[in-house]
Structure 1
Amino acid sequence: MAKVKTHFVCQNCGYNSPRYLGRCPNCGEWNTLVEEQEVSLKSTTSKSLRRVGSNNSKPQLIGEINFESETRYKTELNELNRVLGGGVVPGSLVLIGGDPGIGKSTLLLQVSGQLSKKGKILYVSGEESASQIKMRAARLNVDGENLYIYPETNMDIIKNAINDIKPDAMIIDSVQTMQEPDIQSATGSVTQIREVTSDLMNIAKGQGITVFVVGHVTKGGAIAGPKVLEHMVDTVLYFEGDLHHSYRILRTVKNRFGSTNELGIFEMREDGLREVTNPSEIFLEERLKDATGSAIVVSMEGTRPILVEIQALITASVFGNAQRTATGLDRNRVSLIMAVLEKRAGLLLQNQDAYLKAAGGVKLNEPAIDLALAISIASSYKNIGTDPTECYIGELGLTGEVRRVTQIEQRVAEAQKLGFKRILVPANNLQGWTPPKGISIVGVSTLSQALKLALHY
């Protein structure tokens, strides 16, 4: 009897090693190498020769390809339609990741019920029984006539069910529980996840079935499995939020059919997820009027402008090295802005501890938040409050200049809609467009000028 050959595969990045290593030399993670049985080339030949597209596909000149305008079908959740780039694209493969209990299965069961009004939907679950899914569907008031529930993990049996039902869309919950019987490795391993995803991609592209896939996440928040998993799919969505709060954020990380970094806000209720049509009001509703260290910024999340409060607390340090703590903001950006404030605005911050956060649990990572970040820090340091009807937009350079930002018209319109009276913008952004009436738009060119206007000192 031939000896079974094994190798060790990193469950984080897919690196192969002939012997066990405590730390993966490719990604640097510890204790992620797992022993798996090597699969012979003959057994994987049929698996590796998959086609993406129809079975009769052949090379074509690009000018001879018939192209029809992209058709999408919309769900009843406009926030989800926005995140997907305008609706669900037939034949697309969508990956949704998030922490346990955040609401991924709830969201997809609601979407399944809505899409079942337009076609057949197959909900495949490897984590729940049919009665458990039915119990959750009753709580969510989901009762689709064309919604099929199928608790199964064997991909060969699932493909037979797809051929029998011929669904228009299907949900896989989750990809880590699915198994290719021809692959001799544990369920949830890198090899299994890669082969299952490849099978699902072939189903989506070859048969035109939209496939939603739930993916587990690691302790670091990334989707578990090899990085190739995110490269294979068309769209990657992250479902974020705090289990102790009711609001959830659906964020686009990758989208072949729309804009990335789009944001959808939902509220978790007893009867399921409900969309939040105006998230800016939520992020600002608990703001104190006379508080110091507070500044409002109009940030762009994909194509959507959102008003967010940036809060700063500056206190004298009792240790040798001052602390820099940031929640929802890039810590390196905070350090950079504080260095510019000290050098260009004369604020002595080197012996001050700084604690900053973006209120509401949202994460901000665009250059246009620099000015509001600097004003919130200066406000807390000087103990001078900002005007509650004023907001700030602008990128800061290392020489103290306020630089131009993109999509200024949409930002100003959103601020005006929420009742703000004055907005500070880069002076160069005032060219080439007509500011709307009802809001005072002030152009600033330097950080010192902006601080004098905002804090009146």
Structure 2
Amino acid sequence: MAKDLSFTCSECGAAYSKWSGQCDACQSWNTISENKALASGPKGKSLGALRGKPIPLIDLDTHEPEPPRTQAGVAELDRVLGGGLVKASALLVGGDPGIGKSTLLLQAAARFARNGLKVIYISGEESTAQVQMRARRLGLEKSPVRLAAETNLRDILTTLEAEKPDLAIIDSIQTMWADHVDSAPGSVSQVRASAHELTTFAKRNGMSVVMVGHVTKDGSIAGPRVVEHMVDTVLYFEGERGHQFRILRAVKNRFGPADEIGVFEMTGKGLAEVKNPSALFLSERGAPAPGSVVFAGIEGTRPMLCEIQALVAPSPHSQPRRSVVGWDGGRLAMILAVLESRCGVPFTGLDVYLNVAGGLRISEPAADLAVAAALVSAREDAAVPSDAVIFGEISLSGALRPVVQTENRLKEAEKLGFTSAITPQQAKQVAVKGINLRQAHDLAAFVEDVFGAR
């Protein structure tokens, strides 16, 4: 019988039945490699007490307590983890090179060690002397964290078996090498096999493991997406090189809410948690200017205010530019089309630039109305009132739809000194003391009310 072969692109994870030089999905060259089967299946006792035998759900103890958690003592990190680190869990942390992943995890390791956990930090990219140098710079040289520099997975598992730590940090999973897999370190097969071995080892031995993963050009963790499915929690560490803000975002969490974020500030002595992100994102906002709008958003369970900036200028080219930073470019095109079709505000022949200040990335549709207000403000050269926050979703018909957690957004705005808010009409009346609420039922009425009759 012929041997079944499968190949996977290391950049985007696309699967193929035969090898080719270029990936059709992401257009990358020489990134397709063969998936090698593991030399043997999992050994040792099963993860389940009955070795895979099914248990009736009705027979399970309804009073089973939640898995124990250990808090790091850093409120932003504990928030993203869902209340703390869960025993025997596997976490994957991704981010751009140089964004601060190793710094964050070294600080977290020191915190967990001070709280009673036995922690081992294993680096495959740096020597122990380099890690110690960073620890001294961060003021962590006296922390009871054990360091190791190794890339051979067999030696790492042997060490973990002997040391029996509560938490192991692997920096990074792309540098690990499993000797039973016939491919180079960093390949799809090696990443998948190493992640599988570490995850199953952690589950069997009651140890938590944190794996660092590099990201591809499109921002996703390099290697097959199956690695993300193996682990319990996937965190992305985001930020712009030109800004001191760093955002730790949970995109998957089996033990807490997904889409929760923690905000940090990069300082000379490492990462410092930001307890009031709204004030920080608005701290550099100057006098009211055309194209500047404050949006009251929700990130996970936390209300957060940020500034949305727009610039509209005549285009010297036949095809006007549409440039977006921190928001979805396709949604910007939709807002421009609705403004032109439903409100008679043309953007033909105009370059449009949109930016979310502070390096924050927004994904919720509630930002539609704030973006539309910034665009019209920039086009008409008319500033939006500086004491107003704006939020709401726009439909293709031009109608405005209410969004969730309106009251929490308004309370956050009132806490930071804003006195008015412009929102869609609410089915249930919401009132917050100190906030003058202005409501509109469609986008045309909003434009006429804020910027005058057109």
Q: What TM-score does the superposition give when structure 1 sets the normalisation length?
A: 0.91
5 Å matches for 1:193-272?
193-272=191-270
Amino acid corresponding to residue 45 of structure 1 in structure 2? S
The SS at the match of 2:70 is: coil
Q: Which residue of 2 aligns with 1:60?
A: 55
Q: Distance in 1 between matches of 2:14 and 2:44?
A: 20
2:121 alignment partner, one of 93, 112, 123: 123
1:98-123: CA deviation from partner (whole Å, max 9, x where unpaired):
11111111111111111112120111
5 Å matches for 1:270-289?
270-289=268-287
Is 1:44 aligned with 2:39?
A: yes
Structure 1 unmatched ranges of 5 or more:
none
Is 1:10 aligned with 2:5?
A: no
1:156 alignment partner, one of 154, 157, 162: 154
The SS at the match of 1:267 is: strand
5 Å matches for 1:172-191?
172-191=170-189
| Greater Cα shift, 101-110 or 153-162 | 153-162
Please tell me whether the aligned partners of residues 424 and 443 of structure 1 are also in contact (alpha carbons under 8 angstroms): yes
Is 1:451 aligned with 2:432?
A: no
CA gap of 1:295–1:438, structure 2 versus 1, over 3 A, is: same
Is 1:367 aligned with 2:365?
A: yes
Q: Distance in 1 between matches of 2:435 and 2:60?
A: 50
| Greater Cα shift, 45-54 or 262-271 | 45-54
Q: Which residue of 2 aligns with 1:24?
A: 23
CA gap of 1:391–1:47, structure 2 versus 1, over 3 A, is: same
Please tell me whether the aligned partners of residues 6 and 35 of structure 2 are also in contact (alpha carbons under 8 angstroms): yes
The SS at the match of 2:199 is: helix
The SS at the match of 1:387 is: coil
Please tell me whether the aligned partners of residues 53 and 206 of structure 1 are also in contact (alpha carbons under 8 angstroms): no
* Superposition deviation, residue 59 in structure 1: 3.0
The SS at the match of 1:257 is: coil
| Greater Cα shift, 186-195 or 145-154 | 145-154
Q: Which residue of 1 aligns with 2:435?
A: 439
1:407-440: CA deviation from partner (whole Å, max 9, x where unpaired):
11111111111110000121125x155x121111
The SS at the match of 1:273 is: strand
| Greater Cα shift, 67-76 or 299-308 | 67-76
Q: Distance in 1 between matches of 2:227 and 2:377?
A: 45
Please tell me whether the aligned partners of residues 8 and 33 of structure 1 are also in contact (alpha carbons under 8 angstroms): no
Amino acid corresponding to residue 63 of structure 1 in structure 2? I
1:330-367: CA deviation from partner (whole Å, max 9, x where unpaired):
11111111111112222122222211111111111211
Amino acid corresponding to residue 451 of structure 1 in structure 2? V
5 Å matches for 1:314-333?
314-333=312-331
2:140 alignment partner, one of 136, 139, 142: 142
Q: Which residue of 1 aligns with 2:400?
A: 402
Amino acid corresponding to residue 91 of structure 2 in structure 1? V
Please tell me whether the aligned partners of residues 290 and 383 of structure 2 are also in contact (alpha carbons under 8 angstroms): yes
Q: Which residue of 1 aligns with 2:99?
A: 102
Q: Which residue of 2 aligns with 1:304?
A: 302
Q: Distance in 2 between matches of 1:38 and 1:166?
A: 30
Structure 2 unmatched ranges of 5 or more:
none
| Greater Cα shift, 118-127 or 447-456 | 447-456
Q: Distance in 2 between matches of 1:284 and 1:246?
A: 14
| Greater Cα shift, 124-133 or 409-418 | 124-133
Q: Distance in 2 between matches of 1:343 and 1:17?
A: 47
Please tell me whether the aligned partners of residues 243 and 359 of structure 2 are also in contact (alpha carbons under 8 angstroms): no
CA gap of 1:432–1:346, structure 2 versus 1, over 3 A, is: closer
Q: Which residue of 1 aligns with 2:344?
A: 346
Q: Which residue of 1 aligns with 2:420?
A: 422
* Superposition deviation, residue 267 in structure 1: 1.1
Amino acid corresponding to residue 372 of structure 2 in structure 1? A
The SS at the match of 1:428 is: coil
The SS at the match of 2:39 is: helix
The SS at the match of 1:44 is: coil
CA gap of 1:185–1:382, structure 2 versus 1, over 3 A, is: same
CA gap of 1:21–1:385, structure 2 versus 1, over 3 A, is: same
* Superposition deviation, residue 205 in structure 1: 1.6
